[in-house]
Amino acid sequence: MECFRIVGPNRIQGEVTAGGAKNAALPALAASLLSDGPLELSGLPAVRDIRTMRHLLGHLGVESEERAGVVRLQATDLARPDDAPYELVKTMRASILVLGPLVARLGHARVSLPGGCAIGVRPIDQHLAGLEALGAEVQLEHGYVTARARRLAGGAFRFTVPTVTGTENLMMAACLAKGTSVLDNCAREPEIRDLATLLNKMGARIQGAGEERIEIEGVDRLPSASHRVIPDRIEAGTYLLAAAMTAGEIFVRGAIAADLAPLLEKLAESGCDLEASEAGLRLRRTGELKPQDILTAPHPGFPTDLQAQYMALMTQATGLSTIGETVFENRFQHAPELGRMGADIHIHGTFAKVHGPTPLSGARVMATDLRASACLVLAGIAAVGETIVGRIYHLDRGYEGMELKLQRLGAMVERLPAEPT
């Protein structure tokens, strides 16, 4: 199993470009199922989740080809199969994003239930209740969700919890429903706005994406469109945090300040100098890091996908910081690994107390999810000596060429084909 070998400490310095957002690219790819015309997407990051989604779409009959960074998808013939099998869904929960488009376009779909996940239970009840509100008949059988509707009908649905992929699934389904749909308590992440921009370019009539209430007037057909996905705010935030942690200086080209506001606020309060421009974001830290508490929450709150990396940063702040996780119930698995590197972290339920600054020393560590792995890479760069981060297939799901980007920023990170014995 491949791993990263990091020799630290190193200071992160230089410029990096944020890739396209994985979590915007995944629903954008799924949207190809809604259209019989070609959909051209650019800016898709070269990460494993994107390859998995393209593989799943291929299985469903979507033809795709890539030329000069543009992926052209054509879903003319979607006869059979209409199923998303367990083998694919279990490796990537976002596969559930094909459910809404398939039932809207074909009138039927069969998608494996995703099952448990390292960061929490992550049910899909809201996706299913929402589709029922649009007239689908939903059944759970043999580990699969089956949804049927001759044609979905516009309806009203209020999410009991704002869910990102749930909002995206329903928004896509409602585009081809007959009549108007009103969705309330929607998730407001920038990736949802980006998906609505794409769908509207395809001919959909969506208003309010990025707000709590989204209204969608159904249309009969969604013809072709071209779209570039937004830059990845979580990747951008991870590199900003790497520079902050190592008292470095970085320019993240393409990073959008508005989409990263909750992180930038904390970084500024903790003593980093920040400068935002049209071109991107610059961060510099010269002085001591002040501890800052965070509480993760749906957008515009502090993103759960940056919580682990932020915890790594707080191990270097002078004093006590409290990190609260409200989105997922099991997302502190990086804390004991940071502890093995010398961090002083105590977990009390959904809160972590971090006492800093603690010198970090290189160690063999392993993470169980994508963002926790990124947190350990950051810790490895700041730590003295050699760190081996195992199971980096998690990282490859969502970070494009992370070791190459970090090398250019001055870190000594290399990919090894297997963990040393």
Catalytic positions, written as ranges: 117
Binder of ligand EPU out of 183, 327, 367, 382 (CB under 6 A):
327
Contact (Cβ atoms closer than 8 angstroms) between residue 296 and residue 304: yes
126 touching ligand EPU, by CB under 6 A: yes
What is the rounded distance in angstroms from the CA atom of residue 367 to the CA atom of residue 312? 13
365 forms part of the interface with ligand EPU (CB under 6 A): no
Select the span of 31-39, 55-63, 156-164, 220-228 touching ligand EPU (CB under 6 A). Answer: 156-164
- Return d(Cα 31, Cα 39) in angstroms, integer: 9
Burial of 374 (0-12, 13-18, 19+ CB in 10 A): buried
Under rule CB under 6 A, residue 260 binds ligand EPU = no
Sign of CA dihedral 22, 23, 29, 35: negative
Contacts of 38 (CB under 8 A, 6+ apart): 72, 73, 74, 224
Residue 94 binds ligand EPU, judged by CB under 6 A: yes
d(CA 263, CA 265): 5
Q: What is the DSSP letter of 201?
A: H
Residue type, 78: L
- Both tokens assigned to 198: 């794409």
Does 186 help bind ligand EPU (rule: CB under 6 A)? no
User: How many binding residues for ligand EPU (CB under 6 A)?
Assistant: 25
CB of 259 to ligand EPU, least distance (A): 13
Q: HSE of 338 in the Cβ direction (CA atoms, 13 Å)?
A: 35
Instruction: Give me the count of residues in the chain.
Output: 421
Task: Output the smallest distance, CB 162 to ligand EPU, in A.
Answer: 7
**One residue of 135, 154, 166, 291 binding ligand EPU per CB under 6 A:** 166
Inter-residue contact 250 to 283 (CB < 8 Å): yes
Minimum CB–partner distance for residue 277 and ligand EPU (Å): 26
Site string for ligand EPU, 268-307 (x = CB under 6 A): ------------------------------------xx--
If binding is defined by CB under 6 A, does position 371 make contact with ligand EPU? Answer: yes
Please, what is the minimum distance in Å from the beta carbon of residue 30 to ligand EPU?
Answer: 10
Residue 161 sits in the site that holds ligand EPU (CB under 6 A): yes
Least CB distance to ligand EPU at residue 47 (A): 10
Per CB under 6 A, 309 contacts ligand EPU: no
Cα atoms in the Cβ-side hemisphere of radius 13 Å centred on 413: 29
What's at 272, amino acid-wise? C
Separation CA 82–CA 294 (nearest Å): 43
- Binding test (CB under 6 A) with ligand EPU, winner from 52, 74, 112, 165: 165
Q: Helix (H, G, I), strand (E, B), or coil: what is residue 92?
A: coil
Residue 186 or 289 having the CB closest to ligand EPU: 186
Q: Which helix (H) or strand (E) segment is 382 a member of?
A: helix 370-382
Site stretch for ligand EPU (CB under 6 A), options 119-127, 213-221, 309-317, 377-385: 119-127
Give the nearest distance from C-beta 389 to ligand EPU in angstroms.
16
5 or 193: CB nearest ligand EPU: 193
Q: Does 355 bind ligand EPU (CB under 6 A)?
A: no
**At 52, which helix (H) or strand (E)?**
helix 48-59
Asked if residue 125 binds ligand EPU (CB under 6 A), the reply is: yes
Closest CA to 402 of 6, 1, 119, 92: 6
Whole-number Å distance between alpha carbons of 27 and 239: 24
* Distance separating alpha carbons of residues 207 and 226, to the nearest angstrom: 20
> Which of 45, 210, 248, 398 lies at the binding interface for ligand EPU (CB under 6 A)?
398
**CA–CA separation, 171 vs 389, rounded Å?**
38
Q: Is 395 in the site for ligand EPU (CB under 6 A)?
A: no
Smallest separation, CB 147 to ligand EPU (Å):
14
The reply on whether position 127 binds ligand EPU by CB under 6 A is yes
User: What is the greatest pairwise CA distance in the chain?
Assistant: 63
Of the ranges 40-48, 118-126, 236-244, 348-356, which one interacts with ligand EPU (CB under 6 A)?
118-126
- When binding is defined by CB under 6 A, the residue of 6, 12, 25, 26 that contacts ligand EPU is 26
Residues at the interface with ligand EPU (CB under 6 A): 23, 26, 93-94, 120-127, 161, 163-166, 187, 304-305, 327-328, 370-371, 398
